[in-house]
Each structure stands twice: as C-alpha cells, then as structure tokens.
Amino acid sequence: MTLTKNQILYIEDVIRTCLRDKFLNYKPESNNMPFHYRLLGKDRMVLYSFIHSLNTAFGTSIFEPVAVALAQLRFKDAKRSATAGNQISEEAHKVIQTIMNGLITGKKEPNKAEEIEAIREVCNKGKLNTVKPPKVDVLVVSHDNSIFLFDIKTAKPNIGNFKEFKRTLLEWVATVLAQNPDAKINTCIAIPYNPYEPKPYERWTMKGLLDLDYELKVADEFWNFLGGEGSYDELLDCFERVGIELRPEIDEYFSKFK
C-alpha cells in the first residue's frame, strides 16, 4: 500500500464533504425541458445537471487538496492555490513572446529546458514589472529544492486555450526566476484522468505548444508523481468506497425529483 491510513481517511473525508456540500447547496437548473422530462424522467435530468455541476467543483474541492495530501509525505513542501511570484523583467517578457511566436507559427518545436534557460538568462534584466499571473493550483518542492508548479485542467481542456496555458507556464517560470535566478523550476499542466481510457490520452492535440515530456502529466503520471507508484489506483479505490458508503444518501437525494 502506497498511501498511509491517515492519508486515506483524509482523502475520503474530502470526497465525502465535497459531495454532501454539493447536496446542500445545489439548486437544479430551472429550465423547463418537458420533452426530456417525459422521455427520461426529471430525476435523471437532475442527475445529469448535478454531475455537470459537480465536475466544476472537483478541481478546487477535491483534486487540489487531495494532491497536496499525497505530496506531503514525499516532498519537502506542498501547498495549493499558491502564488508563483508577482514580478517579471522586461527582457523576460520579450523572451516569452519570442518563444510563443515561434511555437504558434510552427517555426520552433517546444523544448522546456531551452525555454527555461532562455528566460533565466534575462530574468533580472531591464525593469521588473509587477504582474498577476494565474494562481498555481498545486506547488510542491522536492528535497533537493526542485520546484514543481501544476495547473490542473479538466480532462478535455479546450484546445483553443492552450496558447494561454503555455504562456502561463512560461510566466510562472519568469516570476520564480525573478526572485531566485538559480531556482530549479518546473511548470506543468496536469490532467486528473484519461477520458479516452483504455486508449492513450490524445496528446497530439497539444503537440507544437507543450513539451509533452516535461509539461504534461495525465492520470497516473500526475498522481503517482505526487504520492508514489500505485497512488492513482488507491485514489480511485477511495472514491469507490465513499460512493458505496453514500449511495443511500445519493439515492434519497435524487428520489425527491421523481
């Protein structure tokens, strides 16, 4: 077993609390859908709407605290909703734009190691401008002081947004290096599960913008990196146990809409 008993208890409590909070605060959409209701039943339509609403809550209410709980035993530090920094040098801004231009036009292949070193060279050159990049969903620091910043995305992120995702990863690098030019910094997109399983995740959709070996972790790659080999499967077991435990509450909640 990879996870400790305390980790399992904590993770299951996070899942349990998230679901119960959703039951207390969820208000079904008021849209009248008479054809759907008569064909499928209002309770099934409410369930569909509930699942869609729950998906939006998974990131902050479950995935982030669970990721930190997994990482705390293997890493020197782990926190959620962190700030990478608030300053980027003018020259670093220019380098980031040059990198983005090269990737968008297809003139350059993504290479995260080279991109980091290019930003490092100019991280304190020129005026330091105050910026407000997106919060880091999960930040972990290894025992050799390597920093890993994760941006957790939905299982099927909008491909059109990947230019902004890439820019965010580069800006996080620049803000960290502006504070500590020698920092060992890694920034990465995390996808909590693979919706295409058992087929491989469709990484090709991100090819050309992300360095897939260093800027993307999907499903077990992400969870096992944080908690150790086997963490992903044990995490799924936690969800299953809580689902079985709360099934009477779930059934009772949706029975009100029949």
Is pLDDT larger for residue 81 or for residue 254? 81
- Same domain assignment for residues 209 and 243: no
Categorize the per-residue pLDDT at 29 as very low, low, confident or very high, splitting at 50, 70 and 90: low
- Same domain assignment for residues 130 and 254: no
Q: Hey, what are 66's tokens?
A: 């669970």
- Same domain assignment for residues 128 and 58: no
Residue 143's pLDDT is what?
96
- Same domain assignment for residues 181 and 96: yes
- Same domain assignment for residues 122 and 171: yes
pTM exceeding 0.85: yes
What lies within 8 Å, CB to CB, of 145 at 6+ separation is 76, 183, 184
- Same domain assignment for residues 182 and 256: no
Segment 42-88, tens digit of pLDDT: 777 777 788 877 887 888 899 999 999 999 999 999 999 999 999 99
Q: What is the CATH number of the domain that holds 198?
A: 3.40.1560
Note the helical H segments in 59-161. 64-71, 90-104, 112-121
- Same domain assignment for residues 107 and 34: no
What lies within 8 Å, CB to CB, of 195 at 6+ separation is 155, 156
Q: CA nearest 119: which of 38, 53, 199, 179?
A: 179
- Same domain assignment for residues 103 and 23: no
- Same domain assignment for residues 43 and 137: no
Query: Residue 44: which domain range?
Result: 1-74+228-258
- Same domain assignment for residues 70 and 139: no
DSSP code, position 150: E
Segment 87-104, tens digit of pLDDT: 999 999 999 999 999 999
Segment 74-84, tens digit of pLDDT: 999 999 999 99
Categorize the per-residue pLDDT at 1 as very low, low, confident or very high, splitting at 50, 70 and 90: low
- Same domain assignment for residues 136 and 217: yes
Residue 56's pLDDT is what?
77
- Same domain assignment for residues 177 and 215: yes
**Number of separate domains in the chain:** 2
**Lowest-pLDDT range of 157-161, 172-176, 199-203:** 157-161
